[in-house]
Amino acid sequence: MDLYQARRPALLKRRGGLVSDHPDPVVTTWSISFEKVEQVNPTAPELLRLCAFLDPDAIPEEILVHGISSRLLPQ
């Protein structure tokens, strides 16, 4: 909660202010969560960006499994 409160003003300023019908922007919470994920695993954001780019109902498991195994195997 402290991190949220600290980041909220900067994100609201970037967004253009507080909207009356949505007082707590989702982007603040999402941004904090994304940073925490990146701290735990620096490659996780790459996977999240890939999944956001692809159709969520049709992501072939093979591309994820192949991508992971090629990163883990020595070249």
The string of pLDDT tens digits covering residues 19-73 is 556 556 677 778 888 888 999 988 888 888 888 888 778 887 887 777 665 555 4
Residues 6+ apart with CB under 8 A from 9: none
Task: Please state the pTM of the whole predicted model.
Answer: 0.47
SS3 content of the chain, % helix, strand, coil (to 5): 70, 5, 30
pLDDT, residue 73, reads 46
pLDDT, residue 71, reads 56
pLDDT, residue 19, reads 59
pLDDT, residue 67, reads 65
pLDDT, residue 21, reads 60
Q: How far apart are CA 34 and CA 48, in angstroms?
A: 9
